[in-house]
Chain A
Amino acid sequence: MRYRAEKLVVAHMVVAFLSLGIAAVLGAWQMTVRSGLNPPFASPETYFASVTAHGTIMAYVMPTLFAMGFGYFAAVTSLARPLPSMRLAWAGFWLAAIGIVVAVAPIASGKASVLYTFYPPLIGHFFYYLGVLLIVVGSWAWVALMIWAMAQWKRENPGEPVPLVMFATVANAYLWLWTTLGVGVEVIFQLIPSSLGWTQTIDVGLARTLFAWTLHPIVYFWLLPAYIALYTIAPRVAGGRLYSDMMARISFVLLILFSLPVGMHHLFMDPEHGTTFKFLQAMLTGIVVLPTLLTVFTISASMEIAGRLRGGKGLFGWIAALPWDRPMVLASGLSFFLLGFGGFGGVVNMAYGMNAMVHNTSWVTAHFHLIFGGSVVIMYYAIAYEIWPVLLGRQHFDSRLLRAQLWLWAVGVVITTFPWHILGLLGQPRRVATFDYTNPAIADWQPWTIVSTIGGFMMLAAALLFLWNLASLHFAPKVQNLQMNYAVAVYPPRRLPNALNGFGLWNAVTAFMMLVAFGYPIAQFYLMDVHPALTHRVDIGN
């Protein structure tokens, strides 16, 4: 690769994927505890430390490092120029890496069993919050570099359309910046002072609301790299064209606008907010379904072009004609299949009153493991399989193990998450370490939980096979001049309106929407008579 960012990208990916492997081991162990199978080392202390570690890695470490690495890769390959500052990029990486170690240490010693949502008044050790903060600050270096790189390129190419992969990557960077404001304020102004003992009380409603600000758009930060691959890589690998570059850009803009002001749908059951804002944010959540469906349509049409070019005929014949032997195509198909079910869970969660049926049951756990673990992470695997050869200058010529890994993962996700949905409808609560299955009221939960555990071990096996596949590329034959090529649109844009080539307007609209959606819900804590709760320091046994 000509712009000397290989080491940087590989460093981010290695940290992301190794941590995924560790978190997968923890996840599988947790499932054996919950299934009544009495594994070794099981106790509430170890279980909840494990859940904290698993969640912190899977939510804050793995996807962040992956998005950063993939973003750097997209920037140098699509803009054909080095990053504006390698120093800043490495500084961001090391800050995040140090943050990971600083956060994990107290978790491992049982001093931060607060779970990755860290809802106060439960307060963990200061280092846990400091570590998470360092990871976020490190990622802001990435945000700055993405914005800077696009700005530099536009100055040197006035009037030219920014390559779609870069436009979408910068969209994700802005999305992340907005996303981190909520949890950033909560961690800096509420949680860290509490963890240092500077305050003995905390405004719980405010903390939950600030976290909810972050909690929805963060999942779109995780999702967007997968969508970027579906729009800009999968159509080319399948041998087709991107059906519409403009619809792609519109989708990414809509995803930013409607993934941010909707976090209150995580607070539907909360007593610190009333109907008005719960209802408003429920409606806004419904609107985010639109760019999702737009994406499903555009990618389907792009794949349809590929399938028909390969001779597929009829309404559905193009599907079978696609080159399913290519890992990126296979992953895209599996991702879409899982997205259908994950999306179904999502619209149930959002359906206002119906949320009461599923809130904080295993249905919720099922939903996000399906959509994130399923649709999104499978695309992370496929992206890694596409870019690793370019980064290493080597190529697998036998993709069977890659495809086997993708299938194993997808089937594992289904076996893990589908029973969980049923358990949720049966009323199984979340975040519980052990169940007394001898109680006849819940005895019928155990078989489903065991089936789900089998799926969890399949996912673990697939995660380890993934690491093996990447590692084995180091022994594959060297290939010269591997280039990264992105999909071409049916009608490549020659000129674009500023609104689809930059983000000034959209940041302004986002600011307005956040003010409307969260302005009063946050301000109310300063206007009404709140009674802060006492902090409970789990690191000093409180």
Chain B
Amino acid sequence: MVAAAAVGIMIAVFVATSFAMAIHPPSHVETINPATLSVGGEFVEKNLGTQVNPDGSVTVRVIATQFQFVPRCIAVPGGRPVTFRVTSPDVIHGFIISGTNANTMVVPGYVAQVRTVFNSPGDHIMPCHEYCGLGHSEMWALVKVFDSAHWKPDAEGRVSCEIPR
């Protein structure tokens, strides 16, 4: 019937792009102990932020707390896949990077992993979009997209930025 055809078309579109372009919701399930994030392991403070790996891929590690993202300014390269790995030591947060499809919930006890590509240089606001307490309204980060001319990782492959005052 017509109804089935309509539903069929809409489902077919997202299924097709899901397979052809690997477009799907973040779906990586990985647990982590929220109580010991700063003590040891991947999310200690000096390991947070943007890291260019030896194989050239880019990983951004962020923690979401009440009430800020650490780091608050996130430098990313344009035109290349960037993988965000995010977790929280306290409550549920979430973020969207405006103008892109990068979107995830951040759940304490889990590492959220989401991959995207930034198509053009510039600044994108990254607000927390899940209620995390009374300070939720103030919780915003900034994603700065650098084109290849301005992308300068240091000796350890790290890139950082500052939020202009």
Contact = CB atoms under 8 A, between A and B. Distances in A.
- A, B assembled together: yes
Contacts of B113: 271
A261 interface: no
A287 interface: yes
Interface residues of B, number: 58
Nearest to A351: B14
Nearest to B21: A353
A269 to B, nearest CB: 5
A434 B2 CA distance: 45
Interface string A406-447: 000000000000000000001101111111000001100000
B135 interface: yes
Given A121-B92, A269-B25, A434-B137, A429 B105 contact: no
Nearest to A434: B137
Interface centre among B17, B91, B108, B109, by most chain A C-beta atoms within 10 angstroms, is B109
A268 interface: yes
A108 interface: no
B120 interface: no
A432 B136 contact: yes
A310 interface: no
B94 interface: yes
A493 B88 CA distance: 58
B19 to A, nearest CB: 11
A523 to B, nearest CB: 14
Interface stretch (A129-137, A189-197, A356-364, A462-470): A356-364
B26 A429 contact: no
A115 B31 contact: no
A29 interface: no
Given A353-B17, A427-B125, A273 B29 contact: yes
Given A269-B26, A356-B103, A531 B127 contact: no
B165 interface: no
Nearest to B108: A533
Q: Which of B34, B111, B113, B123 has the most chain A CB within a 10 Å cutoff?
A: B34
B25 A356 contact: yes
B33 interface: yes
Contact of B137 (A115, A297, A433): A433
Contact of A359 (B6, B96, B110, B123): B96
Contact of A274 (B4, B27, B102): B27
A505 interface: no
Contact of A533 (B6, B17, B90, B111): B90
B105 A271 contact: yes
Given A44-B137, A286-B7, A294-B3, A275 B27 contact: yes
Contact of B94 (A44, A120, A269, A532): A269
A463 to B, nearest CB: 25
A441 B125 contact: yes
A272 B30 CA distance: 8
B148 interface: no
Nearest to A439: B125
A267 B27 CA distance: 10
B47 interface: no
Interface in A490-542: 528-534, 536, 538
Contacts of B103: 269, 355-357, 359-360
Interface in A280-294: 282-283, 286-287, 289-290, 293-294
Contacts of A357: 101, 103
B139 to A, nearest CB: 9
B102 to A, nearest CB: 7
Interface in A339-388: 347, 351-357, 359-361
Given A119-B92, A431-B136, A532 B24 contact: no
B94 A353 contact: no
A48 interface: yes
B145 to A, nearest CB: 14
Interface string B1-16: 0111011001101110
Given A270-B105, A432-B127, A360 B28 contact: no
A297 B135 CA distance: 47
B48 interface: no
Nearest to A524: B29
A356 B102 contact: yes
Given A44-B134, A287-B7, A531-B31, A271 B110 contact: yes
A431 to B, nearest CB: 4
B119 interface: no
Contacts of A430: 129-131
Of B7, B33, B110, B137, the most chain A CB neighbours within 10 A belong to: B137
B99 interface: yes
Contacts of B44: none
Contact of A204 (B13, B18, B109): B109
A297 B18 CA distance: 31
Nearest to A292: B3
A242 interface: no
Interface in B71-103: 90-92, 94, 96, 98-99, 101-103
Given A121-B108, A275-B25, 4 more contacts: A122-B133, A355-B103, A441-B125, A529-B31
Closest 7 CB pairs of A and B: A427-B98, A429-B129, A360-B129, A293-B3, A533-B108, A353-B23, A271-B112
30 contacts: A44-B134, A120-B92, A121-B108, A204-B108, A205-B110, A269-B105, A270-B107, A271-B112, A274-B27, A275-B25, A282-B14, A293-B6, A353-B25, A356-B25, A356-B103, A359-B96, A360-B103, A360-B129, A427-B96, A427-B99, A430-B129, A431-B131, A432-B137, A433-B136, A433-B137, A435-B137, A528-B31, A529-B31, A531-B32, A536-B133
Interface of B: 2-4, 6-7, 10-11, 13-15, 17-18, 23-35, 90-92, 94, 96, 98-99, 101-113, 123, 125, 127-137
